[in-house]
Amino acid sequence: MLGLFFGAMNMTSLLNPRDVQFLLYEYLDCEALLQRPRYGEHSREIFDATIDTARQIAEAKLAPHSSKGDANEPQFDGKTVTLIPETHEAWAAIAGAGFHNAHWDFDEGGLQMPEVILRAAISYFYSANVASSSYSFLTIGAANLLRSFGTPAQKARYLGPMGDGRFAGTMALTEPGQGSALGDIKTSAELQPDGSYRLFGQKMFISGGDQSITENIVHMVLARIKGAPPGVRGISLFLVPKVLVNEDGTLGARNDVALAGLLHKMGWRNTTSTVLSFGEKGGAVGTLLGEAGKGLAHMFQMMNEARIGVGLCAASIAYRGYMLSLEYARERPQGRLPSCRDPHSAQIKLVEHADIRRMLLAQKVYAEGSLALCLYGASLQEDLHTHPDAASRAEAARLLDLLTPVMKSWSARYGCVANDSAIQILGGSGYIREYPLEQLYRDQRLNPIHEGAEAIHGIDLLGRKVVMDNGAAYKLFRNLVAASVAQAAADPALACLTKNFAIPLARLDEVTLKLGALLASDPDRALANATIYLDVFGRVVAAWIWLRQAQAAQAGTNRDASSADFYRGKLQAARYAIDWDLPATAPQFDLLMAADDTAFAMRNDWF
């Protein structure tokens, strides 16, 4: 009966395919990858077909049940977890099309697909339905960990089924009593005579920790071997399957890993969030993955991958909100311009109002900008592994280290801002479940929390990343930015976009030097405003990413007249990122330079 009020939104507006092409082949130069030996058998057509397959799966198998999965979250009857059947079909489609292992080498059973192409493809899944696609997200990460650190026997038993979709994977880090402080985890592991371990303890907030989609789940578990020292040095990584696997690959008995219960999230509802009990009945069988005592270092591979992945999730959710609110703003008549006083005149479309355009433009900056940033991150991951030049590989490693906290946290933070604007454009309709915007807002809110809450990344960036190796990564990054700015300044069409860079860059240097020095003498004070540092750093990175997109757009303008409007949009969005968001760093730099102690000096008793 109410259906008539809710114009059918085009549920297939996911990412803008023209933009994906732009990001991969104009802003990044993914065609150059074809020169690398690993990709000798590939072609741009294969890359494009991969992305198009992902888009089709996203449209057909993920987007249609996003809202249903939100309204019908997984149920646990004490024995089995039940998900809506569409989740199973989506998983089968994703795994069946090879997206779990396309990036593996041919001899692992993969297609040697470049990291950056796969990440772009998978972003379509996230934009369509982040909750249902997260099972694949986690499985890909867990399988990569196994590929890096597994013994041949472990790989033989688990890798194939994770690739083909029979087994899923998880990362089991957090515990009820410790939250972000991984050094304090208590789950213990006891060595058995046969070389395996028995695990005992509890893990919380484990996404995909149980489900009814796959016949087995491979948990990557951090635990302490009995007698290991406290803190990070005592942590090891274990592979603990939900169901034991026999040597011949057949399934054995149920392992001693029990679902203690499901948690009920604000968004991502179709992703189970679990509390898992290990060893309530004598010990969960696990095998050591990698070296004892190096568990956290090993797990950082998966965490860093997952952090870029969270950045891509954030980008994709922001992107979808942008596309949907843009569509609404173009169709919905509403009011008149302030200059029009004639009540007889027709209403104009929402998109004609300057403030609506501001909110659309901001969304474009955050959605397309974070996608561009995280795909750049994926291209660094790619270079790290396949760049023919050793020095370039080392550079990529440094930049990736430096930018990972920014990719994760800038994308998540401004993804929330973007989805907030999407709701605001729809007004009351944005707030009701009859439209998809409010779900995106709820889904997005997880991203500043999981894979390290924002503060963790601020401390990681300022306390470790910018100072490591005498600031080598920082200097490398700064040189890249300076080079882009110099290059753009020399182009009359782009020079106007470069004038706002000088001051923030100089002040970033100054603040980094000052706080870096303070780190040695008073780390608590130096890191007190690290979250603000993370934000200014993110704004500088985002402005740079947009300058690079503007350069690519300008080059495109000279080449391809049919895309003139698209390129104009990129240039205008760059202007917003550089003229609106970058100068907003000024008061933040003032606080950082003063090592302002307003929050630091606040006392518990004064609240």
Catalytically active residues are 451
Check residue 77 for interaction with a second copy (CB under 8 A): no
* Cα Dmax for the chain: 88
Number of residues located near a second copy, criterion CB under 8 A:
115
Query: What is the C-alpha to C-alpha distance for residues 529 and 602, in angstroms, rounded to an integer?
Result: 13
Among 119, 353, 408, 507, binds a second copy (CB under 8 A): 353
What residues contact 390, with CB distance under 8 A and at least 6 apart?
A: none
Query: What is the C-alpha to C-alpha distance for residues 114 and 39, in angstroms, rounded to an integer?
Result: 8
Q: Tokens in use for 188?
A: 């213990």
Q: Tokens in use for 65?
A: 């049940």
Among 280, 389, 560, 590, binds a second copy (CB under 8 A): 590
Among 204, 296, 313, 367, binds a second copy (CB under 8 A): 204
Check residue 7 for interaction with a second copy (CB under 8 A): no
Check residue 181 for interaction with a second copy (CB under 8 A): yes
What residues contact 325, with CB distance under 8 A and at least 6 apart?
A: 359, 360, 363, 421, 422, 423, 425, 426, 430, 437
| CA distance readout (Å), 475 to 84, 317, 465 | 50, 32, 11
Cβ atoms of 62 and 125 closer than 8 Å: yes
Kindly identify the residues of this chain, within the stretch 356-385, that bind a second copy according to CB under 8 A: 356-358, 360-361, 364
Contacting range for a second copy; rule: CB under 8 A; set: 55-63, 106-114, 349-357, 395-403? 349-357
Among 337, 486, 517, 593, binds a second copy (CB under 8 A): 337
Count of positions (residues) in the chain: 607
Kindly identify the residues of this chain, within the stretch 401-460, that bind a second copy according to CB under 8 A: 416, 420, 423-424, 427-428, 430-434, 438, 441-442, 445-446, 448-450, 453-455, 458-459
Three-state secondary structure readout of 90-129: HHHHHHHCCCCCCCCCHHHCCCCCCHHHHHHHHHHHHHHH
Kindly identify the residues of this chain, within the stretch 231-260, that bind a second copy according to CB under 8 A: 231-234, 260
Q: At its nearest, how many Å lie between a second copy and the CB of residue 591?
A: 7
Q: At its nearest, how many Å lie between a second copy and the CB of residue 423?
A: 7
Kindly identify the residues of this chain, within the stretch 308-327, that bind a second copy according to CB under 8 A: 326
Cβ atoms of 31 and 25 closer than 8 Å: yes
Check residue 586 for interaction with a second copy (CB under 8 A): yes
Three-state secondary structure readout of 367-411: HHHHHHHHHHHHHHHHHHHHCCCHHHHHHHHHHHHHHHHHHHHHH
> Buried b / exposed e across 438-473, counting CB within 10 Å, b at 16+?
bbbbbbbbbbbebbbebebbbbbbbbebbbeeebbb
Kindly identify the residues of this chain, within the stretch 565-584, that bind a second copy according to CB under 8 A: 565-566, 568-569, 572, 575-576, 579-580, 583-584
Check residue 493 for interaction with a second copy (CB under 8 A): no
Q: At its nearest, how many Å lie between a second copy and the CB of residue 309?
A: 17
Check residue 88 for interaction with a second copy (CB under 8 A): no
Query: With respect to a second copy, which residue has the nearer C-beta, 5 or 8?
Result: 5
Query: With respect to a second copy, which residue has the nearer C-beta, 486 or 602?
Result: 602
Contacting range for a second copy; rule: CB under 8 A; set: 299-307, 393-401, 466-474, 592-600? 592-600
Check residue 602 for interaction with a second copy (CB under 8 A): yes
Q: At its nearest, how many Å lie between a second copy and the CB of residue 524?
A: 5
